[in-house]
Every structure is written in C-alpha cells, then in structure tokens.
Homo-oligomer: A and B are copies of this chain.
Amino acid sequence: MQTDKVNIAIVDDHTLFRQGLAHLLTESNEINVLFDADNGADMIKKLPAYPLPDVILMDITMPIMNGYETTKWLKANHPEINVLALSMFEEDKPIIGMLKSGAGGYMLKQSKAADLVSAIKGISAQSFYINELVSGKLLRNIQNNQPVKNAPIGLSPNELKFLELCCSDFTYKQIADMMNLSPHTIDNYREALFQKFEVKSRTGLVISALKNELIKI
C-alpha cells in the first residue's frame, strides 16, 4: 500500500548519485521518492508541488544553499519533516554541525543500501536515528568544555588547580576534599591568590583569572 511507504525527497547536487539513489531506494519497496533537488533553494521551490515528505536525505556541500542552511530552513518552516544527513565526510565538524542544524541522523554515502533504508525507516518512526558513527562524537561534543591547563605567571600547580576548581558552584570545603587538602591550606591558597590578583572576593578572583586567560570555561 502506498501509505505504508516512507515518503522521502533527496537533496544533493550530484545528479547521477541522486537519481541512482532514487532508483535504488524505490526498488526496496519500502521507500517512495517524491522528488529530488539540486540544492536547498531548488528544494524550497519544489516542496509545495508534492505531498510533504516524511524524510529528506540531505547532502552538506551544495552550491547556492548548502545542507546546514537548508536543514535550518526546514526546521523553521516544516519541523515535522525529518532530515537525514547523507555525506561523504566522517569528521566531527560536519556531523556535529548537521545535527545542531536539526538533522535527526547522519549517514555516510559509503553505507550499504539496506542500512540506509533502515535509517530512513528509523528516523521516520522515531524522528532520530543514532548510529555508532554519531554517538561517540555527540558525547565528546557535550563534554568539550574542560579547562585547558596552561600555567604561566607565578602560580604553583596546586594554586592553578585550586583556581580552576574555584570557577564552579563548589564550596571551599568541597574543593579541599577534591584536592585532598585541609580547608586551612585551601584558605592559604585563597589568600595568596587574592593578593596576587588584588581582589577581595572569590567572584573577583574568577573574573580576573578569566581576563588573564589563566582558565577557560
């Protein structure tokens, strides 16, 4: 039955790839390719002429209007359409970029047809499809806000560590526990840093440290 099939569109500037893929997917009998487009602008033009697709396969590098822009436009104007990024690149940046733009999944062009079909069906049902390629990068992205240890200016390693831990919700008592030191020793560090930075409060200390680029957040 027609309505059981997943309706999709393909946006990619490589005509041969696009049309070959359309045939391949149509043969699976589970996918119905409504239309294809050369780039984002072309897609926007063609969209009103067809039923709304369930899923759009989206290339990244395209002339005129690329995959990031097109995905953002879709999320703004047709948030119910699921975007599956389809690209040659395995690097972090395009993957994270497309997901941030609103894509619900990311597949490599070198994938097997069967895998692509199951990704399309998955994203159509759950509005996202996470594979091994994507999951690790997602996790690393979310964790990427750790301070970098570069220690100039007259700060001892412990003072610097203390300074980093200061940029948080932790109390001095907690910081003392974390550094395996007595709160009194922590107090010595605090006094020393207050003098060195000429401040009178922990907040002032944090601001100064950030201005001096001693720590990053």
Task: Flag whether A136 is at the interface (Cβ < 8 A).
Answer: yes
Report how many copies the assembly holds: 2
A199–B96 alpha-carbon span in the complex (Å): 28
Chain B positions within 8 Å of A3 at CB level: none
Set B139, B202, B207: member contacting A128, Cβ < 8 A? B139
Pick from A20-28, A85-93, A169-177 the stretch touching chain B.
A169-177
A152–B49 alpha-carbon span in the complex (Å): 34
Q: Nearest B residue to A167 by beta-carbon distance?
A: B207
A108–B104 alpha-carbon span in the complex (Å): 24
Set B41, B100, B139: member contacting A143, Cβ < 8 A? B100
Say which size band chain A's interface belongs to: 35 or more
In the complex, the answer to whether B169 meets A201 with C-beta atoms within 8 Å is: yes
Set B130, B142, B180, B201: member contacting A171, Cβ < 8 A? B201
Q: A146-B75, A170-B69 are in contact. Are A139 and B104 (CB under 8 A)?
A: yes
Interface positions of A from 51 to 94, Cβ below 8 Å from B: 65, 69, 73, 75-77
Binding site for B on A (CB under 8 A): 41, 44, 65, 69, 73, 75-77, 96, 99-100, 102, 104, 126, 128, 130, 135-136, 138-143, 145-146, 161, 164-171, 174, 177-178, 180, 199-204, 206-207, 210-211, 217
30 CB-based A-B contacts, threshold 8 Å:
A41-B177, A44-B180, A65-B174, A69-B170, A69-B174, A69-B178, A73-B178, A76-B164, A96-B142, A99-B139, A99-B142, A100-B143, A104-B139, A128-B136, A128-B140, A130-B139, A138-B142, A142-B142, A145-B211, A167-B207, A169-B199, A169-B201, A169-B203, A169-B204, A169-B207, A202-B203, A206-B207, A210-B210, A210-B217, A211-B217
